[in-house]
């Protein structure tokens, strides 16, 4: 009952005409920010932060939360439309999202991504309102050993997303790890492969790489193959049930995925630093493992889009847990929000929910409202996005090229990163031609440095002993999960190995 009281208090604070107006503004701005490749929630919130200083803190945070949520919805749209993830959390959404669009199921794909985002976000907020303080203790028990193991599970999951050619997939992932070595070594401060260029001191950022590999790579590939000259599929409209709304089969296939993706995403999102990328990746590979039709994944199968989408939105809700209950920012975007709390004179920390219930619960209730507004905005905006797909691809090419270039340049105003994007565009073309996996490269680039830092932090604290991984309870559970993931297929392989020579299991 206390939860209901709290929520009612929150709603009474959040539901004023002014707040609703700013929530809608925030959600809309967030969606647009999410659509621009390279311009994610962190930058969106940071840029608009200065506008909010003169506002009432509750109104301001409701608007910023709207941007945060909106960009999570919008970020997937380019993944589906032009195969270009706007942030690392939506890389996994390209796996089935883009093939769906190519098959002409663009309307249903966009509806389902909105539905998955809505369900993921809503389940996330329900879990926050019900159990936030209990989860705080869970988030608190994560140190470097646990992070390392979670990221290792993420890296193992790469095997699932690599596609059929496991050897090429492994090479792609290793390429990603190699690129990730550039920059300052966080433990010793030594510079690696920077060749004296200050632009490389902070390493090669994954977004120019992702935009190049996916956005430009796809574009070069279609020019190379000549597919850009083909006519587009028929138009779709609201009234056209068949091509706009997902059909019954697509709904029923995705039922379990919604729930599993949301819960998994929420828990992974709660861990500071692991976040939405690992969540979307784990959710995708979990679905592929439990599905009876695992060979359909990657070819435009609806649950393959629903899994990462429900997970990354639930993760962005999960990331609010350490922020609200511990005052610890779990992601770049929540770190900027934390800075905003301070500027408004709020004191984030374990006592914030007690000391500032109106603020905390106002924020939580605004998340419910934000999700409702966003699913409506999304569904009404779909015909607009679908129209983009009707434009002949040869006319879209210059536009995509401009968007990718501007998006990359606007990240840090760096011309070096723009060149990096262009170079990876060419690499992306060859990876596609020779059946390598751009997704494995990008995800290894994101996860590799996290794995390296956390492993080395762990070993420094344990004085070099690996025993630390089995001495801490949560860490021990994670070790067992990894053993299970690695050993089970290995046993299966040894059993069936004689019968058929399957290249699939070798890389495990």
User: Which residues from 254-273 bind another protein, rule CB under 8 A?
Assistant: 272-273
CA angle 360, 363, 369 (to 5 degrees): 145
If the CB atoms of residues 43 and 125 are measured against another protein, the closer one turns out to be 43
Token representation of residue 19: 């707040």
Closest CA to 89 of 101, 99, 74, 100: 74
Q: Determine which residue in the list 186, 235, 433, 506 makes contact with another protein, applying CB under 8 A.
A: 186
Which value, in Å, is the radius of gyration of the alpha carbons in the chain? Answer: 22
Provide, rounded to whole angstroms, the least separation between the CB of residue 348 and another protein.
5
By C-beta, is 296 or 412 nearer to another protein? 412
142 binds another protein (CB under 8 A): yes
Exposure string (b/e) for 150-185, b if CB count within 10 Å is 16 or more?
bbbbbbbbbbbbbbebbebbbbbbebbbebbebbee
Distance of CA 375 to the CA centre of its chain: 18
Among 196, 249, 292, 500, binds another protein (CB under 8 A): 196
Ranges within 311-330 binding another protein (CB under 8 A): 322, 326-330
Structure tokens at 50: 């200065």
- ∠ Cα 459 464 467 (to 5°): 85
- Where in 457-476 is the site for another protein (CB under 8 A)? 457-458, 460-461, 463, 472
Residues 21-80 that bind another protein (CB under 8 A): 32, 35-36, 39, 42-43, 45-47, 49-50
User: Of 231 and 242, which has the nearer Cβ to another protein?
Assistant: 231
In this chain, which of 55, 259, 343, 376 binds another protein, going by CB under 8 A?
343
Instruction: At 26, list the tokens.
Output: 């925030």
Minimum CB separation from another protein for residue 75, in Å? 14
Total of chain residues touching another protein, rule CB under 8 A: 79
Q: Give least dist CB 276 to another protein, A.
A: 14
Assigned token pair, 294:
């695992």
Site for another protein in 413-452 (CB under 8 A): 413-414
| List 198, 226, 491, 501, residue binding another protein (CB under 8 A) | 198
Q: Please choose, out of 11-19, 114-122, 404-412, 496-504, the segment that lies near another protein by the rule CB under 8 A.
A: 404-412
* Secondary structure of residue 192 in the 3-state scheme: strand
Nearer to another protein, 200 or 315 (CB): 200
388 makes contact with another protein (CB under 8 A): yes
Nearest in space to 416 (alpha carbons), one of 178, 201, 192, 221:
201
Q: Which among 123-131, 196-204, 359-367, 486-494 is the span making contact with another protein, rule CB under 8 A? A: 196-204
Residues 365 to 384 in contact with another protein, rule: CB under 8 A: 384
Q: Which of 46, 64, 42 is nearest to 55 (CA)?
A: 64
| Strand 183-184 with 191-192, pairing | antiparallel
Shortest Cβ 346–another protein spacing (Å): 9
Q: How far apart are CA 38 and CA 41, in angstroms?
A: 10
Alpha carbon dihedral 345, 348, 349, 355, in 10-degree steps, equals 60
Binding span for another protein by CB under 8 A among 155-163, 251-259, 343-351, 488-496: 343-351
Q: Are 214 and 421 in contact (CB under 8 A)?
A: no
- Among 339, 357, 383, 489, indicate the residue that binds another protein (CB under 8 A): 339
């Amino acid at each position: 009952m206390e939860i209901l009281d709290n929520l009612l208090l929150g709603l009474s604070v959040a539901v004023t005409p002014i707040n609703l107006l700013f929530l809608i503004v925030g959600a809309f701005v967030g969606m647009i920010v999410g659509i621009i490749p390279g311009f994610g929630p962190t930058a969106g919130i940071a840029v608009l932060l200065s506008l909010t200083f003169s506002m009432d803190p509750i109104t301001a945070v409701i608007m910023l939360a709207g941007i945060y949520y909106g960009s999570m919805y919008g970020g997937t749209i380019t993944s589906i439309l032009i195969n270009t993830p706007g942030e690392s959390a939506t890389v996994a959404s390209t796996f089935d999202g883009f093939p769906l669009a190519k098959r002409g199921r663009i309307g249903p794909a966009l509806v389902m991504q909105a539905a998955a985002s809505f369900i993921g976000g809503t389940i996330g907020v329900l879990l926050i309102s019900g159990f936030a303080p209990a989860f705080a203790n869970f988030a608190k028990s994560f140190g470097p050993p646990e992070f390392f193991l979670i990221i290792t599970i993420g890296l193992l999951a790469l095997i699932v997303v690599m596609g059929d050619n496991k050897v090429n997939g492994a090479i792609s992932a290793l390429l990603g790890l190699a690129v990730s070595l550039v920059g300052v070594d966080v433990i010793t401060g030594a510079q690696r492969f920077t060749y004296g260029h200050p632009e490389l001191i902070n390493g090669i950022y994954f977004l120019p790489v992702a935009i190049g590999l996916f956005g430009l790579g796809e574009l070069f590939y279609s020019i190379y193959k000549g597919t850009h000259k083909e006519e587009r599929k028929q138009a779709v409209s609201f009234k056209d049930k068949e091509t706009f709304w997902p059909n019954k089969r697509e709904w029923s296939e995705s039922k379990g995925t919604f729930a599993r993706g949301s819960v998994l995403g929420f828990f992974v999102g709660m861990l500071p630093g692991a976040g939405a990328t690992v969540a979307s990746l784990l959710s995708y590979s979990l679905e592929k493992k439990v599905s009876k039709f695992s060979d359909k994944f990657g070819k435009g199968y609806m649950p393959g889009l629903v899994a990462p989408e429900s997970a990354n939105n639930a993760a962005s809700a999960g990331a609010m847990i350490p922020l609200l209950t511990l005052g610890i920012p779990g992601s770049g975007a929540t770190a900027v929000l934390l800075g905003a709390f301070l500027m408004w004179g709020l004191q984030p920390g374990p006592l914030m929910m007690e000391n500032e219930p109106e603020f905390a619960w106002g924020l939580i209730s605004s998340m419910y409202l934000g999700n409702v507004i966003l699913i409506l905005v999304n569904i009404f905006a779909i015909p607009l996005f679908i129209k983009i797909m009707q434009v002949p691809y040869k006319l879209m090419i210059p536009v995509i090229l401009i968007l990718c270039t501007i998006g990359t340049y606007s990240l840090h105003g760096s011309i070096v990163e723009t060149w990096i994007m262009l170079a990876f565009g060419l690499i992306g073309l060859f990876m596609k031609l020779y059946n390598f996996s751009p997704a494995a490269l990008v995800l290894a680039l994101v996860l590799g440095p996290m794995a390296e830092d956390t492993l080395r932090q762990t070993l420094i604290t344990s004085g070099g002993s690996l025993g630390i991984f089995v001495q801490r309870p949560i860490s021990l559970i994670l070790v067992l999960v990894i053993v299970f993931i690695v050993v089970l297929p290995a046993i299966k392989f040894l059993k069936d190995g004689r019968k058929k020579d399957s290249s699939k299991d070798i890389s495990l």
